[in-house]
A = this chain, B = another copy of it.
Amino acid sequence: MTALPRAHDPASATLLDRYAAVRRQTLALAAPLSPEDCVVQSMPDASPAKWHLAHTTWFFETFVLAPHVAGYTPFREPYRVLFNSYYVAVGDRHPRPERGLLTRPTLREVQAYRQYVDGAMQALLETGRGTALRDTVELGLQHEQQHQELVVTDVKHLLSRNPLAPVYRARWPLLAVASRATGWIAHPGGIVDIGHGSGGFAFDNEGPRHRALLAPHAIATHPVTNGEYRAFIADGGYRRPDLWCSLGWDTVVAHGWEAPLYWRRRDGDWRTFTLYGEVDVDDDTPVAHVSWFEADAYARWAGARLPTEFEWEALAAGQRVDGNFADGGALHPLPAPAAAPGAPAQLFGDVWEWTASAYAPYPGFRTAPGAIGEYNGKFMCNQYVLRGGSCATPRGHVRATYRNFFPPEARWQFSGIRLASDA
């Protein structure tokens, strides 16, 4: 794409490699999908896969190429509006619930858009420009990884709405047998350091690093399993208002919830829709696709509570960030592997873990100026923090300080439960 001599700055080379790898991975996730699968929007919360492919590209075009490459020509001018998500400062946006109406550009044209931008990005990165640019590129890659997870969860939701129960992947990954005994890990309480410090990428909402005071408490070694959750259902969990917060109970009644999203009663037993089609509910696997309402109600039923995000982070701070991530290819939570006694299992990967903490700014939090500043701060209302990543999260994307957030009724992410209790 260019005959210019390559830059020899090793960091540039690394960033370029990383750029290529992340971008390639997005395409790989969309590979099993037909053009039809890529265009439809199954609910306002979700977006078409084609839109994700385009929007992540738009991010690089808007925040990297347009401001940093003199004379850059946008691939198509109208894409500026069409593929803006919510960056008000960038200008108009196509309405979110109408993303599924965009049959044009076609998937093929969006793929050409990606190639065009990738070419320009490669040329730019090879020049080895300064740190500010590199920070924005890194943000764009982290952003793309977030959308990779959404490609998986949005496609799962779409396919689940089809009576034919189509399959995204063919070979069922559950081979392991769990050998686990859930225990508790106690914490004496006291002041801990919370939030991202120096070193490595982090989103703005992970800082500033600050001190928090914990009460004595304990956290479960394992996430709650389908088998444990099945007992909650069998005990009338979805029919007992005393277990639910008021808003949660209203939601249960309004939507007729009686199990996690994707669970279906068949001949008196539970089946569940997965990216591999409909399968039996496996009792040893962490429960997924529950809302905060359900996590909170389950915890109350179990005589426990959800951990605060600070308690969770204090536990995670000393742990290695490893687990069942998207790169492993399962794209489904797996039964617990053997773990050292008293050590947390499945803290990272498998399922995002709802915390008791409403999503709020850390003391001293300031949003960045301009459109980039709209990244996280504006969502700090009526959402709850989830921690730890899931089986749909790209490896390397999460860390102990990472704060994901969703409204308490959201269920289409791989969201699960880890219990805590007062000491």
**Footprint of B on A, CB under 8 Å?**
34-40, 42, 50, 78, 81-82, 86, 88-89, 94, 98, 100-107, 158-159, 161-164, 166, 191, 210-213, 215, 217, 241-242, 244-249, 292-293, 296, 356-358, 360-361, 363-364, 374, 377-382, 408, 422
Of B88, B162, B241, B408, the residue contacting A381 (CB under 8 A) is B408
**CB <8 Å contact, A213 and B215:** no
Q: Which residues of B contact A37 (CB under 8 A)?
A: 103-104
**CB <8 Å contact, B88 and A241:** yes
Of B40, B212, B377, the residue contacting A103 (CB under 8 A) is B40
CB-CB nearest in chain B for A248: B381
Copies of this protein in the assembly total 4
Chain A interface mostly: mixed
Q: A40-B40, A78-B164, A103-B40 are in contact. Are A364 and B246 (CB under 8 A)?
A: no
Q: A213-B213, A379-B246 are in contact. Are A360 and B358 (CB under 8 A)?
A: yes
Distance of A254 from chain B, by nearest CB (Å): 13
Q: How far is the CA of A247 from the CA of B381 in the complex (A)?
A: 7
Sample of 10 A–B contacts (CB below 8 Å): A81-B163, A88-B241, A98-B161, A212-B213, A217-B363, A244-B378, A247-B379, A248-B381, A296-B381, A381-B408
Q: Which residues of B contact A81 (CB under 8 A)?
A: 163
CB-CB nearest in chain B for A373: B242
Q: How far is the CA of A398 from the CA of B25 in the complex (A)?
A: 54
Q: Which residues of B contact A34 (CB under 8 A)?
A: 35, 103-104, 106
Q: Which residues of B contact A107 (CB under 8 A)?
A: 36
**CB <8 Å contact, B88 and A242:** yes
Q: A34-B106, A36-B35, A103-B36 are in contact. Are A356 and B363 (CB under 8 A)?
A: no
